[in-house]
Chains A and B, each alone.
Chain A
């Protein structure tokens, strides 16, 4: 998949502003960004659901637009919202989507059984989707995008609202698919998911791709900086301002009563930080560099914002 200089506006709002990146076969590419960064708009354009105002997308060498009917068969799209029919059984849902992608009857049956096995829903396949748990629905939602063995699988935040056990199963399935050669575009604001799954990551903020690379390359961008999380009893904004003004760290961001600060050498700097914070500090966590730190460094915002 290759996208070049994608642009899309909603009225005066610039949702996507010149986004370009490529995904190679068998590569899992993570698109990271907070809510409203433009992730869903970018993948809607790549999936051929939305028309870009400008720019170009190609998958398996063929241009993708909402009218490029044939080329869309190369893409499996798993939307962020559950896109299933609750009054049909799991098997009926999959059968419908398989036929929608042009699978023949015999192939449909075989592939539906196969995919049900992959997502661990074979035994519940004959029951109405309305009776499924949230995690089961999420797994079925992903399965519906896999039936036709796409070249590119697009997953838009597939683990939102999923219990840890189902999340682990979903991530395991995606790892298996990537190993089998499928290119995967994965959007999330869960940094640990991106770190586990993604070969490369693009960081999206306010419609722009502000950084791209492997997890190692990106963490190197923030240098050997640790992340210090302080939970304070009161006035976190004021403390964040004072920390940013000091030479103890930088990019202090506030999320509720928690302040996240990037620090070059946490063990050395911590006493001075606590001294500055005074008696308002309730807890301290020190973390080594990760994608969250990268995002904080690049945007000054938390991924969960």
Chain B
């Protein structure tokens, strides 16, 4: 163990003298997480869509829409409505971009006319939401009308039927079912995504330095020393692990303090980080074992890190794509690392990360096993 730490200490000293190490392990992931958070963080907490509403019918049903349905959504904070008197005024506000769209409830609604949506060219999403609200209301209305048509005369008075219809005229158009306890905040997501993405670059140095030692001629001297060859390999793996640990620890602290990332229960985070570093070390070690030179190892490790990072959802939540991509993402340590953090989000205990930690350990065991077998051959000059 002493010799393993001696080799790892020497490697760390060498690595920390290279300024690019700090750039790769700390500055870049922090900067990218910060930038992603700025870009997507603001998009994820949008201002409420603003709509102009012109009720040209002023009938019982149109008023149900303008006075009950829209205000109830407004109350939830998703939209803002501005009542206007004419179609022209509503259309003008939409075209100017003052509002995202305009609802024009035409005279004769709902029997002879409908609801027009005047779109603002600058807000396609806002327009879609407006269409959805209108479509949903009309569908609901149609359902009520069918129900009324199917009612036998004498079952109820007309007033009773109208009251029943009005009672069901406020459809649940938007409902937040994001299950806060299973979703990471954007700050945490990007902090964790960038941290695990760059982890695969940070840990490269240790395992690839076997090839550097061979190029440098120092591997022969290590092999001539009174230490087992496997100690050299263990020293290199320890270097990768320690580099990963330093980088991840600094990133967790920095993103928590600077970006407000909430990583979760420290014990769970620590377990996930340790398992994640082992998996990253194993994957990069396998790639290094397939290369002949440090340069080719570096290139292939970078390709591997980028592909696994993209597939694993380090840049965006790939699980939301669904289907085969979501399944494929589980072939990457990144996805398990992020899933583990998600499982812990919202105050769950450290135990929630155990399935993900187990998956990461399985990655680590398989890849480190393969790497050790292959790299043992490198240790034979």
Report which A residues bind B (CB closer than 8 A).
Answer: 44, 47-50, 66-67, 69-73, 75, 77, 79, 81-88, 92, 96-97, 99-102, 144
CA separation between A77 and B217, bound complex, in Å? Answer: 12
Out of B14, B17, B223, B226, which one reaches A49, CB within 8 Å?
B223
Q: What are 5 A-B residue pairs whose CB atoms fall within 8 Å in the complex? A: A48-B223, A83-B216, A84-B218, A87-B18, A99-B6
State whether A82 and B217 are in contact (beta carbons under 8 Å apart), knowing that A88-B10, A100-B6 are contacts in the complex: yes
Contacts of B220 in A (CB 8 A): 44, 49, 77, 79, 81, 83
Q: Is B225 within 8 A of A85, CB to CB? A: no
Q: How far is the CB of A66 from chain B (nearest CB, A)?
A: 7
Asked whether, in the complex, the Cβ of B216 is within 8 Å of the Cβ of A85, the reply is yes
Interface string of B170-204 (1 = CB under 8 A from A): 00000000000000000000000000000000000
Residues of A within 8 A of B13 (CB): 88, 92
Which residue of A47, A85, A102 is within 8 Å of B14 (Cβ)? Answer: A85
On whether the beta carbons of A100 and B217 are closer than 8 Å, the reply is: no
Contact A96 B10 (CB under 8 A): yes
A75 CB contacts on chain B under 8 angstroms: 224
- In angstroms, Cα B221 to Cα A79, docked, is 7
Residues of chain B within 8 A (CB-CB) of A69 are 226-228
Q: For the complex, is B222 an interface residue (Cβ under 8 Å from A)? A: yes
CB-CB < 8 A to A49: which residues of B?
Answer: 220, 223-224, 381
Q: Which residues of A contact B221 (CB under 8 A)?
A: 77, 79, 83, 97, 144
Smallest CB–CB gap between B216 and chain A, Å? 7
Q: Chain A: which residue is nearest B221 at the CB level?
A: A83
* Cβ contacts B1-37/A at 8 Å (1 or 0 each): 0010010001001100110000000000000000000
Residues from chain B with a CB closer than 8 A to the CB of A84 are 216, 218
If the complex has contacts A83-B216, A87-B14, are A50 and B381 also in contact, measured as CB distance less than 8 A? Answer: yes
**Complex CA distance for A96 and B223, rounded to whole angstroms:** 14
Does B229 have its Cβ within 8 Å of any Cβ on chain A? yes
The secondary structure that dominates the B interface is: helix
Residues of B within 8 A of A77 (CB): 220-221, 224
The complex places the Cα of A86 from the Cα of B226 at a distance, in Å, of 23
Q: How far is the CA of A92 from the CA of B380 in the complex (A)?
A: 26
Contact of A79 with B226 in the complex, beta carbons under 8 Å: no
Q: How far is the CA of A203 from the CA of B228 in the complex (A)?
A: 33
In the bound complex, how far is the Cα of B13 from the Cα of A102, in angstroms? Answer: 20
Contact A100 B14 (CB under 8 A): no
- Once the chains bind, are B222 and A100 in contact (CB under 8 Å)? yes
In Å, the complex CA distance between A88 and B218 comes to: 13
Q: Are B225 and A100 in contact (CB under 8 A)?
A: yes
Could you tell me if A83 and B381 are in contact, using CB atoms closer than 8 angstroms?
no
Q: How far is the CA of A67 from the CA of B6 in the complex (A)?
A: 20
User: Interface code B35-49, partner A: CB below 8 Å = 1, 0 otherwise?
Assistant: 000000000000000
Bound complex: CA A50 to CA B229 (Å): 12
B340 to A: closest C-beta gap in Å: 37
* Nearest CB on A from B243, distance (A): 16
Q: A88 to B14, Cβ gap below 8 A?
A: yes
Report A283 CB to chain B, min CB distance, Å.
Answer: 39
In the complex, A70 Cα to B227 Cα: how many Å?
8
| Shortest beta-carbon distance from A132 to chain B in Å | 15
User: What chain B residues lie within 8 Å of A66 (beta carbons)?
Assistant: 223, 229, 380
Q: How far is the CB of A3 from chain B (nearest CB, A)?
A: 16
Proximity string of chain B (223-252) to chain A, C-beta cutoff 8 Å, 1 when within and 0 when not:
111111100000000000000000000000
A99 to B13, CA, bound (A): 15
Residue from A70, A71, A73, A83 in contact with B218 in the complex, judged by beta carbons closer than 8 Å = A83
Name 8 extra pairs, CB < 8 A, besides A84-B218, A100-B225.
A44-B381, A49-B220, A73-B226, A83-B218, A87-B17, A92-B13, A101-B225, A144-B221
Give the contacting residue for A72; candidates B3, B10, B224, B381; CB below 8 A: B224
A residues less than 8 Å from B6 (CB atoms): 96, 99-100
Give Cα A245–Cα B215 distance, bound, in whole angstroms.
48
In whole angstroms, what is the CA distance A56 to B227 when docked? Answer: 20
B218→A85 contact, CB < 8 A: yes
Residue of A nearest to B215 (CB): A81
Given A87-B18, A88-B13, A96-B10, CB of A102 within 8 Å of CB of B226 = yes
Contact between A79 and B217 (Cβ–Cβ < 8 Å)? yes
A100 with B227: CB separation less than 8 A: yes
In order of increasing CB-CB distance, the 10 nearest A-B pairs are A81-B217, A77-B224, A83-B221, A73-B226, A72-B226, A83-B217, A100-B225, A83-B218, A47-B224, A79-B220
List of B residues within 8 angstroms of A81 by Cβ: 217, 220
What's the Cα separation between A99 and B227 when bound, in Å? Answer: 11
Assembled-state Cα–Cα distance A48/B228 (Å): 11
Q: For the complex, what is the distance from the CA of A249 to the CA of B222, rounded to whole Å?
A: 49
